[in-house]
Amino acid sequence: QKEVEQDPGPLSVPEGAIVSLNCTYSNSAFQYFMWYRQYSRKGPELLMYTYSSGNKEDGRFTAQVDKSSKYISLFIRDSQPSDSATYLCAMSAGTYGGSQGNLIFGKGTKLSVKP
């Protein structure tokens, strides 16, 4: 079983839809969770960061972490064509200075929002 699993999609939705993106993981030591957005041929940019379980909201984006189920989600409300990109989840066990602090990435989900 891979450490981080993410459905690659592609996922196509109409403009204005609510989008749900998900990752599952196997390492119970993970406690830092991030979502990155990557436009085609660009570097990933950090969207959301969450520590441990719970929700975090930033504008149209909400990140959820359920450590008991080893499952994280990113919700996008009122999706826009400009949200069309690949979304990467990433997580780590923490501990700056050791390899456990390195991020483990999902393979990314490609999202297309149609006008």
Partner 1 sequence: DGGITQSPKYLFRKEGQNVTLSCEQNLNHDAMYWYRQDPGQGLRLIYYSQIVNDFQKGDIAEGYSVSREKKESFPLTVTSAQKNPTAFYLCASSIRLAGGLTDTQYFGPGTRLTVL
Residue numbers at the binding site for partner 1 (CB under 8 A): 6, 8, 31-32, 34, 36, 41-46, 49, 51, 88, 90, 92-97, 99, 101-103, 105-108
Q: How many CB atoms lie within 10 A of CB 85?
A: 21
For residue 93, give Cα distances in angstroms to 17, 84, 109: 33, 30, 23
Q: How far is the CB of 57 from partner 1 (least distance, A)?
A: 18
The Cα 39–Cα 43 span in angstroms is: 7
Q: Of the two residues 44 and 76, which places its CB atom closer to partner 1 in the complex?
A: 44
Q: How far is the CB of 90 from partner 1 (least distance, A)?
A: 8
Q: Of the two residues 17 and 112, which places its CB atom closer to partner 1 in the complex?
A: 112
The Cα 79–Cα 76 span in angstroms is: 6
Q: Of the two residues 6 and 79, which places its CB atom closer to partner 1 in the complex?
A: 6
Measured CA angle at 89 (ends 111, 54), to 5 deg: 110
Q: How far is the CB of 68 from partner 1 (least distance, A)?
A: 21
Q: Of the two residues 17 and 67, which places its CB atom closer to partner 1 in the complex?
A: 67
